[in-house]
Amino acid sequence: MKEIYSNILSSISEGKRLLAVLIDPDKMTVEMASGFIKKVNESIATHIFVGGSIVDNHATENLVVEVKKYTDLPIVLFPGDVTQLTNYADALLFLALISGDNPEYLIGKHIQAISKLKNSNLEVIPTGYILIESGRQTAVEKVTKTKPLSRQNILQIVDTAKAGELLGMRLIYLEAGSGALHPLTAEMISFVKQELKVPLIVGGGIKSKQQLETAYNNGADLVVIGTAFENDVSFFNELRP
């Protein structure tokens, strides 16, 4: 499957709203996968993202192999580290943390990844990843040792997103961080969206259908939800087609 990005573009042009369920291999065991994926399949989810900030070696690959048995949805890696790359997924968000100034997350990890990617069939999607403050320190902030952008400074957020696009990023991911106290605001999403030509991903702290609608109504093309499903799978029942 090498059409993940073009399918995202065509879905958006047809006015579809995309939803990725994020699975963290550090929190979901292989044994839990089948029941969880059944819920995903019954929901409006269009993609499965797999990744986490800190994950044991091989946990990602084992989980992806298991998840694939139960779904036809595209599985996209959202890796916190090079060790989370696996050929069993369909695509990879090749993330550059453009909100921060840590060279490891701008280009360092990417160079380390090349030896694995050279022999892989993964569809690699360059993605500008922008961390925005959300009320408390998030795992991304801790692991990457970068400061999130201030949520008050919308101009800086917009300009960072646009700079990412002009550098050639095919997706821009606005991130409040996993388990964020506050999801990104309607205003922030809408100002960024107005400036972008590439698709906009929004994630972090979305726990209700209302917050999901707010993100879509203000320009999110694809929304990512992880923690709300981890905490309560019955949230899927609210997200049936």
Residue 64's nearest CA partner among 23, 116, 19 is 23
Residue of 99, 160, 178, 218 interacting with ligand 1GP (CB under 6 A): 178
Taking residue 197's Cβ as centre, other Cβ atoms within 10 Å add up to 7
Residue nearest to ligand 1GP (CB): 203
Residue of 33, 40, 132, 180 interacting with ligand 1GP (CB under 6 A): 180
219 binds ligand 1GP (CB under 6 A): no
Residue of 66, 224, 235, 236 interacting with ligand 1GP (CB under 6 A): 224
Smallest separation, CB 204 to ligand 1GP (Å): 4
228 binds ligand 1GP (CB under 6 A): yes
Taking residue 115's Cβ as centre, other Cβ atoms within 10 Å add up to 9
d(CA 193, CA 203): 14
Q: Kindly list the distances between the CA atom of residue 51 and the CA atoms of 8, 28, 140, 238, in Å, as whole numbers in the listed order.
A: 20, 11, 12, 24
Residue 224's nearest CA partner among 209, 208, 203 is 203
Q: Which three-class secondary structure state does DSSP give residue 40? A: helix
Cβ-based burial of 95 (10 A; exposed 0-12, middle 13-18, buried ≥19)? buried
Residue type, 238: E
In the complex with ligand 1GP, which residue's Cβ is closer, 29 or 121? Answer: 29
Q: Which three-class secondary structure state does DSSP give residue 10? A: helix
In the block, residue with structure tokens 């994020």: 22
225 binds ligand 1GP (CB under 6 A): yes
In the complex with ligand 1GP, which residue's Cβ is closer, 76 or 180? Answer: 180
By CB under 6 A, which span of 9-17, 31-39, 86-94, 174-182 interacts with ligand 1GP? 174-182
Taking residue 88's Cβ as centre, other Cβ atoms within 10 Å add up to 18
H/E element, 222:
strand 222-225
79 binds ligand 1GP (CB under 6 A): no
Residue of 206, 215, 220, 239 interacting with ligand 1GP (CB under 6 A): 206
By CB under 6 A, which span of 61-69, 158-166, 186-194, 221-229 interacts with ligand 1GP? 221-229
22 binds ligand 1GP (CB under 6 A): yes
Give me 186's structure tokens: 């309607």
132 binds ligand 1GP (CB under 6 A): no
By CB under 6 A, which span of 2-10, 111-119, 143-151, 204-212 interacts with ligand 1GP? 204-212
Residue of 63, 196, 203, 222 interacting with ligand 1GP (CB under 6 A): 203
The binding site for ligand 1GP (CB under 6 A) comprises 22, 175, 178-180, 203-206, 224-228
